[in-house]
Amino acid sequence: MLLPQEIRNHTFGRAMRGYTTAEVDEYINFLADNVDSLNRENVELAQKLNIALEKLAELQAREARVARLDTEMRRAAATLLHEAEKQQKKILEEAHAYAERVVADADAHAAIQKKVREEIREEVLRVKNDL
């Protein structure tokens, strides 16, 4: 690539009435070719930059959508968790109440069985005493 310093430092040979025309023309053509090449490269790079910027914008839009979905999903998960905890509490309360009823029924049944055993024991003793 041509450096500005090279252009500034380039010297032309002297002819009788000034610079050698062929040398100046050759150098001007050289400069023009380099400028043309640089311009083409600049256009290509600008196009690549535009493509990259478009892709970046698309990715940023996707990222924003993902962030919104993430927020919505987290809210939904929190709601589901809250509802599940409420249901769990209700089920446990119902299970405890049922267990208490079963234990109370079992205690009542055991008391009846105990009373029946006592009555039978008393009857057996009466019968033994009567004999």
For 1-58, the pLDDT digits (tens) are 667 777 777 777 777 777 777 888 888 888 888 888 898 899 999 999 999 999 999 9
* Threshold 0.85, pTM exceeds: no
Position with higher pLDDT, 2 vs 66 = 66
* 50-73 per-residue burial string, b: 16 or more CB within 10 A, e: under 16: eeeeeeeeeeeeeeeeeeeeeeee
Task: Enumerate the domain spans of the chain.
Answer: 4-130
Q: Is the pLDDT of residue 86 over 70?
A: yes
Q: Across all residues in the chain, what is the average pLDDT?
A: 91
Residue 127 has pLDDT above 90, yes or no: no
pLDDT of 82 over the 80 cut:
yes
d(CA 6, CA 34): 12
- What pLDDT was estimated at residue 2? 66
